[in-house]
Structure 1
Amino acid sequence: MNAFLKVLTVGAVATAAFAFNDKKPKYIDPANMDLSVKPGDNFYLYANGGWIKKNPIPASKTRWGSFDVLREESSQRLQALLQDAQKNTGKDRATQMIGDFYRSGMDSAAIEARGYTPIKADLDHLAALNNKQQVIDEIATMRTKGLGSPLFGMFIGQDRKNVNLYIPQLGQGGTTLPDRDYYLKDDARSTAIRKAYRDHVERMFSLIGENAANAAYSADAILRIETALAKAQMSRVEMRDPYKTYNKFSVKDLNNLTPGLNWSSLFPLMKVNGVDSVLVGNPAFLKTADVLITALPLQDWKTYLRWNVLKGAAPYLSSAFVNENFKLSQVLTGQKEQTPRWQRMSGLIDNTLGDLLGQLYVQKYFKGEAKTRMQEMVNNLQQTFAERIQRLDWMSEATKQRALQKLNAFTKKIAYPDKWKDYQGITINGADFVSNLRSSATWSYDYMVNRLGKPVDRTEWGMTPPTINAYYNPVNNEIAFPAGILQFPFFDFGADDAIIYGGIGSVIGHEMTHGFDDQGAQYGASGNLDNWWTKEDEAKFKAKTQQVVNQYNAYTVLDTIHVNGRLTLGENLADIGGLSIAYEAFTKTKQFKEGKKIDGFTPQQRFFLSWAQIWRNNTVPETASQLILTDPHSPGEYRANGAVVNNDAWYEAFNVQAGDKLYVAPEKRIKVW
């Protein structure tokens, strides 16, 4: 996924979902609530306490909430599509490709019989390298063959200061654990994870035939290299600064920065030709990588490259590798049982041949009238947001006009792409799973590098149609809502406006606000990095965002672990703004004006309850700890509560008074957008 997409979901991006439930849900069900909790003490538990108690986390999951329920149901729909394609592979090319891919992935007997032979030739080739230059060349070429992206990341994306051009971009990378802190921190959990990781690497090398001494050496070498790389990486908070990560080099100057890495020869090996400049996210990281190439023994680097092949392929090899891979995942996430193979395959194919599977999904499950209703809602919220900007008491008229210019320039993508990828060049063999993965990965890489020198394609999507999510992309100044999110609890044709505006309306407002969060606000209407603020307004904006940082920093997740208010700032701003925009848009509806109760709740109450139930979830402690380090979203409880406490209408709807635990005095409620 594009590194700059700002997404909605709790944690990692969801894989897929069906567009509508078959049974009409009870939109606000008191059985899912905990009416013994005062709304003003913990609105999240008041709205969701009953559901949380009745919905323990399944053994094959690390979290269970609104998003996860939809993903589970979705994967079953995708499974039906894939099984049907498997039975009808002669029907057409798309059906053949996804049917054969699914067949190959589900043929566990054939996969088991092959062991690690699908990668043996690659491992032997890397073991036979004779010198450092061969290592460097492999670091470049491996990524072109679907063998991993060792040492650094490379992608072709839009130049943030000239978004009409594609440019090569180099980023920090080279590590395996989810965050650099796992290598650097000495708390008990980090230390235990490092030991588990080192032992995992040793066992993985043993599985490919290394004796005990060599496997132990290999594990130590991997941890040594990755720890050195982690020390050179920027933190996730630092990486949120689009100017700090914008460092343009000529290829000549980049060669001077890294004397051991000749980019004039490396770029052609990566199929990147005819470029004279490149963006570097973290120049200091590349300098460190260059020093390490020279300083560390050849054997260590050969081991490192072999590890990149091994770890990338492990989930798709025989059960010995899959099970060992899962052992590490258990330590990191707390997951008790593996996700069923069919479910892993449906997610994998959605990620690799998403437009082919997406077309089948749209044909079978998506109702076109939902797109029309969404377009109406997006326009409604866009107009409401404009009215709110015009009323801001902290922003000058000059900056308001620039903000409105950006808001009005939004590109709106709803449900599915206008044109589909055809995946010409991918070869799918129903009897060879790993070769299908390689062919798909090679195609994706070629598709990316072939952008160079071509006009920017603004029709491309960053998510597949079945995805339960939404996003804002600053370089295109676009908001996108895949078909998968257009279902309850976000959207349902049978629901009253309070439910729809509290659900999908808040999602729309969330993505719009991303265009004006601490990162998005640095991009102009065209998508370019462009400071359109007066100095005075910028200072006021930063003071308000610091208030949001402080609010969320105070939330405790586990024991002494707090939400990282700086890492989650963009999402928190989008939640607060999105909820406020959606509520104001809701006040224009007939339901709000009539004020009639449904199932004992006023329209205002139903709106906020709809918002809260989106975020209900149970999470295992290990995953909760990991997400605090890696996820730019706050945990669900603090997304639900953190936004409402800044909304005056919520206090009125539930008669929240001073003395209630969530009560914030009116003058201290944060009003940004």
Structure 2
Amino acid sequence: MKIKLGLPLVGLTLMIACQSKQNNNEQQGPFIDTLGMDKSVSPGDNFFEYANGKWLKSAKIPDDQSGWGSFYILYEDNLKKLKGIVEDAEKENAAKGSIKQKVADYYASAMDTVTIEKLGATPLQATLAKIDAVKTPQELLTVINELSKTSDQNLISFYVGADEKNSTKNIASFSQSGTSLPEKDYYFATDSASKAAREGLINYAKQMFSFTGLDATKAAQEANTLLALETQLAKSHRTPVELRNPQKNYNKMSVAEFAQLMPIVNLQEHFKALNVKMDSVNVAQPDYFKALNALLSSQPVDAWKTKLKFDYISGNARYLSRNFVDASFNYSKIFSGQKKQSERWKRVINQIDGKLSDPLGQLYVEKYFTPEAKSRMDELVNNLQKVFAKRIEKLDWMSAETKTKATEKLNIFLKKIGYPAKWKNYSDVTITKDNYFENVMSTKAHAIKEELEKIGKNVDKTDWEMTPPTVNAYYNPTYNEIVFPAGILQPPFFYASADDAVNYGAIGAVIGHEMTHGFDDQGRQYDAAGNMKDWWTKADAEKFQQKADKVVAKYNSFTLLDNQHVNGSLTLGENLADIGGLAIAYDAFKLTKQGKEDNTKIDGFTPDQRFFLGFAQVWRIKTRDELMRVRLKTDPHSPEQYRVNGAVYNMESFYKAFDVKPTAKMYLTPENRLGVW
């Protein structure tokens, strides 16, 4: 389980550049965009609109984007920087096997569209032929084993991470999978959007099958078979809300016990094919594997061959000729609303960040991450950590016993800033200029091998879950760590020359957010060592739950689009982190000189007002309706409007800063405010 801050965008990795060492694109001036505000809106009626309203009304979402605003703009700027890094590497004619050679030649091979178009579906044919040759269930499982080596099947899905009840050791965790639509309700709901999604999947599958040689009639049959099989698998899936329960997702068992859930699958052979040995595993959602076993027994082998072929074709469509790429994009439009594809070079740079993460990340930080930014971030993190400890000490609802353990956990947070302490070895990855598909397969095989080699070994806490250019942050409960990649340490999150009010409202709230995740409804179930262990008194746990229930109820009342409600249970952890993070950041800001002494207005705003405006303008995002509908069903983060309003209206300091009266539309009386931390 990883708990992350950022804005989840379907099919989009948020790789955002930090300011350069020359500071050549850092804004100089007031740092608050007053022209984008809508001062006709009262801050007490809708602070998000007040801070961002004119921008929201005038901003146009580019056709190649699913939304627009702070994250998206930074993403685009960063792509240009990363492209420059790659192109510089191309010019150097670097030594074979070096990180520059791998990055440059991957890019060159991916941009060689002439060769890619000539090949068409050819790169797939050998594996598709193996699947077509399958006659028996055992032969089917042999192919599944083979596809697992490059993650090209999604029936038996796993990841390797710290054992949540023995956090010093790695364990393989197997989780529900086997479906193509965003979550299980898309297979059963009768609303128009869900029906359109199912129809879209059928049409997409028909195209994938036809591009690899099936006639129209056979392709249509295969597509319908695929949807029927995935619908059966989806019945066993837990909902997004159910997946947030770490206790239910922890089901450690021996390999022999796991094999009893799926007797039709020879797990020993499966693990042998992957060249791994293990004595125990975590089976996060056992019902899925029971259902998979039953369906492997009851459904025809040909149906499973259809499923394997689709997963293999679709999973690799982006690496093939334009007909595959376009069909894949057109299917994704159902969920993103994006009008047209981004330019090919942008998609390729995105791939390199994901597949050659450390080689590209190493080149990135050398050019764009300053020691000064890291030093300033260290200071901010330490300041907020101290403030959070004081807030815990002052809680009126928590016992001294639980406070002691909470403070212990807070004080030993592992803090990672900028980039990893050591870079991973990619010597087993072979990259050439003239074989794009094989380059992709080499990086996939590397990623799986890297995961498998961790099984049963001691946890290496130098590992990162994000790449250095990423504009995001996360808290990992089993490591008890907070992580801030270099990409987030730039405007509008962090300005080297801004006043403290703006920086504490922006990056300070991000830091506080991640710290609070250690004590949200999920994070609080892990102790200081990262083990899932109940360290709360019964009375304190009950009081926490009562407060959390109020947060759920409040966010359930928020609506957007055509009266679609925010899911307060799904978004609880992020909402707690938003509310707590902003409060912690404000307390830390009040310890600065500006926060304590200086009431000088800048651009017409007091320091406290600038703090809250800095926070609100970080979340200046405009999202297409199609993507927002998916987010409301699957995203643990609330829509940006409520990330802002849900936090500020729970703070007395906000009401004072903007002189908000009890008659304001969003005014909350003190007894109805949602403070937890």
Normalised to the residue count of structure 1, the TM-score between the two structures is 0.98
Q: In the alignment, what sits opposite 1:145?
A: 150
Cα shift readout 1:370-407 (whole Å, capped 9, x = no counterpart): 10111111110000000000000000000000100100
- Number of residue pairs the alignment of both structures matches: 669
Distance 1:266 1:91 in 2: 38
The one-character-per-residue Cα deviations of 1:606-642 (angstroms, maximum 9, x if unpaired) are 0000000011111111011011111110111110111
> Which residue of the other structure, out of 113, 125, 129, is the alignment partner of 1:124?
129
2:175 corresponds to which of 171, 190, 196: 171
Structure-1 residue corresponding to 2:165: 161
The letter of the residue matching 1:376 is E
State the distance in 2 between where 1:531 and 1:672 align. 19
Deviation at 1:666, TM superposition (A): 1.1
Q: Tell me by how many angstroms 1:179 deviates.
A: 1.4
Residue 112 of structure 2: which of 89, 107, 111 is its match? 107
Asked if 1 retains the 8 angstrom alpha-carbon contact of 2:552 and 2:572, the reply is yes
Give the distance between the partners of 1:66 and 1:646, measured in 2 at CA. 24
Distance 1:55 1:87 in 2: 38
- TM-superposed deviation, 1:257: 2.1
2-side partners of 1:590 and 1:421: how far apart?
A: 42
* Alignment-derived partner of residue 655 in structure 2: 651
2-structure distance, mates of 1:649, 1:183: 46
* Inter-partner Cα distance in structure 1 for 2:659 and 2:225: 61
**CA deviation map 1:205-236 (0-9, x unaligned):** 11111012211111011101111111110011
CA distance in 1, matches of 2:316, 2:457: 33
Residue 17 (structure 2) pairs with residue 18 (structure 1): yes
Asked if 1:64 is matched to 2:62, the reply is no
Residue from 431, 435, 440 that aligns with 2:434? 431
Task: Summarize deviations over 1:17-38 as a string: whole Å, max 9, x none.
Answer: 2211623424112101011111
Give CA-to-partner distance per residue, 1:494-553, whole Å, 9 cap, x none.
100001000100000000000000000000000000101000000000011111111111
**1:284-299 equivalent positions in 2, closer than 5 A:** 284-299=287-302
Asked if 2 retains the 8 angstrom alpha-carbon contact of 1:144 and 1:271, the reply is: no
Asked if the contact 2:578–2:643 (Cα under 8 Å) also holds between the matched residues in 1, the reply is yes
Cα distance in 1 for partners of 2:245, 2:271 equals: 26
SS at match of 1:30: coil
CA distance in structure 2 between the partners assigned to 1:174 and 1:69 by the alignment:
34
Instruction: Assess if the C-alpha contact under 8 Å between 1:89 and 1:97 holds in 2.
Output: no
Distance in 2 between the 1:670 and 1:140 partners? 50
Q: What's the counterpart of residue 553 of structure 2? A: 550
Amino acid at match of 2:116: I
Distance in 2, Cα, partners of 1:153 & 1:18? 32
Please show how residues 164-243 of structure 1 align to structure 2 within 5 Å.
164-243=168-247
Mark the CA change 1:604 to 1:14 in structure 2 (over 3 Å): closer, same or farther: farther
Per the alignment, in what secondary structure is the counterpart of residue 232 of structure 1? Answer: coil
Aligned CA distance change for structure 1 residues 11 and 400 (closer, same or farther; 3 Å): farther
Give the distance between the partners of 1:238 and 1:444, measured in 2 at CA.
29
Residue type of the alignment partner of 2:203: D
Q: Secondary structure at the match of 1:424?
A: coil
Query: 2:56 aligned with 1:52, yes or no?
Result: yes
**Cross-structure match for 2:77:** 73
Is the CA contact 2:373–2:489 (under 8 Å) kept in the aligned structure 1? yes
Give the counterpart of 1:253 among 251, 257, 280.
257
CA shift, 1:135, in A, is 1.0
Match of 2:606 in 1: 602
Partner Cα separation in structure 1 for residue 276 and residue 453 of structure 2: 8
* 1:303 alignment counterpart: 306
- Cα RMSD for the two superposed structures: 1.2
Aligned-partner Cα distance in 1 for 2:433–2:3 = 34
1:280 aligns with 2:283: yes
**Contact 1:183–1:230 (CA<8 Å) still a contact in 2?**
yes
* Distance in 2 (alpha carbons) for counterparts of 1:572 and 1:143: 37
> 1:10 Cα deviation (Å)?
5.0
2:268 to 248, 253, 264: 264
**Conserved in 1, the CA contact under 8 Å of 2:36 and 2:54?**
yes
Residue 581 of structure 1 corresponds to 584
Aligned equivalents of 2:263, 2:483: Cα separation in 1: 43
Indicate which of 322, 337, 343 corresponds to 2:346. Answer: 343
The residue aligned with 2:390 is: 387
Q: Does 1:456 align with 2:451?
A: no
Contact 1:591 1:603 (8 Å CA) reproduced: yes
Q: Residue 40 of structure 1 is aligned with which of 23, 44, 63?
A: 44
SS in 2 for 1:278: strand
Equivalents in 1 of 2:418, 2:200: separation in Å?
42
**Cα deviation per residue 1:428-474 (whole Å; 9 max; x = unaligned)?**
01111110010000011001101123221100111111100111000
User: Aligned to 1:414, which of 417, 420, 442?
Assistant: 417
The counterpart of 1:95, out of the listed 80, 91, 100, is 100
CA contact (8 A) 1:10 1:636 kept: no
Change (3 A) 1:387 1:32: same
- Give the match for residue 613 of structure 1: 617
> For the Cα contact (< 8 Å) 2:650–2:673, is it kept in 1?
yes
Distance 1:352 1:154 in 2: 18
Among candidates 487, 490, 493, match of residue 493 of structure 2: 490
Q: Which amino acid aligns with 1:8?
A: G
1:373 paired with 2:376, answer yes
Deviation string, structure 1 residues 39-62 (Cα, Å, up to 9, x no partner): 011100100112223321000000
Q: Is 1:506 matched with 2:509?
A: yes
Q: Which amino acid aligns with 2:607?
A: P
Structure 2 unaligned runs (5+)?
Answer: none
Instruction: Report the alpha carbon displacement of residue 256 of structure 1 after superposing the two structures with TM.
Output: 1.9
Looking at structure 1, the residues matched to 539 and 384 of structure 2 have their Cα atoms a distance apart, in angstroms, of 28
1:138-189 per-position Cα deviation (integer Å, ceiling 9, x unaligned): 223312134x232131122111000111112110001111111111211111
Q: What SS does structure 1 have at the residue aligned with 2:162?
A: strand
Task: Report the equivalent of 1:7.
Answer: 5
Q: Say yes or no: does 1:133 pair with 2:141.
A: no
State whether residues 184 and 230 of structure 1, in contact with CA within 8 Å, keep that contact through their aligned partners in structure 2: no
Q: Distance in 1 between matches of 2:47 and 2:262?
A: 54
Q: Does 1:312 align with 2:319?
A: no
Give distance in 1, aligned partners of 2:63 and 2:146. 39
| 1:428 alignment partner, SS class | coil
Q: 3-state SS of the aligned residue for 1:493?
A: coil
2:235 aligns to what SS in structure 1? helix
**SS of residue in 1 equivalent to 2:496:** coil
Q: 3-state DSSP class of the match of 2:578?
A: helix
CA distance in 1, matches of 2:101, 2:73: 30
Contact 2:525 2:533 in 1 (8 A): yes
User: Is the contact between residue 8 and residue 507 of structure 1 (CA under 8 Å) also seen in structure 2?
Assistant: no
**Are 1:15 and 1:351, in contact at CA under 8 Å, matched by a contact in 2?**
no
Q: Which amino acid aligns with 1:567?
A: L
Q: Cα distance, 1:11 vs. partner?
A: 4.5
In 1, Cα distance between equivalents of 2:564 and 2:9: 17
Distance in 2 (CA, whole Å) between partners of 1:537 and 1:221 is: 51
Moved more, 206-215 or 565-574: 206-215
